[in-house]
Amino acid sequence: MNGGHSKREIVEHPGGVAIIGITDEKEIVLVEQFRKPIDRMLLELPAGKIEKNEPPELTAKRELQEETGYIAEEVELLLEGYSSPGFSDEKIYIYLAKNLVQGEPCPDENEHIDIKKYKLDVLIKMVFTGQIEDYKTISGLLALQVKGDLV
């Protein structure tokens, strides 16, 4: 800090979660959806915004169920970090969800989601071939790979 002044536009955000749901078949549940800012489809971990006074762990369970139908009996915080601290205070918590029970998805009215499932080794290849471009998804998948004993 040099004592100077500058003008900044800052996006204040309540935070979000992303969820790595692992099925009994050791597949990871992802969602494919259209993202208007980049005007195309992206393959991502299920994710969503933390509601006021909602613990991130509950947000993770809620968002996984809403977007994919899967109900997580167990969630564990894998990592957390800031999505883009150059302009936003959004913090993202990435959870690992295990012991999934299949239910019915109930996405928000404006969400059009296709559910996809892949093995971790396939997803890691997709990261490095540019097929997965969403950074919360990339971070979560690489963290899961490093953790190693989960899939």
Contact yes or no for 140/146 (Cβ under 8 A): no
Neighbours of 135 (CB within 10 A): 14
Collapse the DSSP code of 43 into the 3-class scheme (helix H, G, I; strand E, B; otherwise coil) and give the result: strand
Pick the catalytic residue: 12, 25, 104, 109?
A: 109
Q: Which two tokens stand for residue 145?
A: 């790979």
Separation CA 144–CA 53 (nearest Å): 28
User: 92 φ, ψ to 5°?
Assistant: -115, 130
Annotation says 44 is catalytic: no
Q: Could you say which DSSP state residue 37 is in?
A: G
Catalytic residue numbers, as ranges: 109
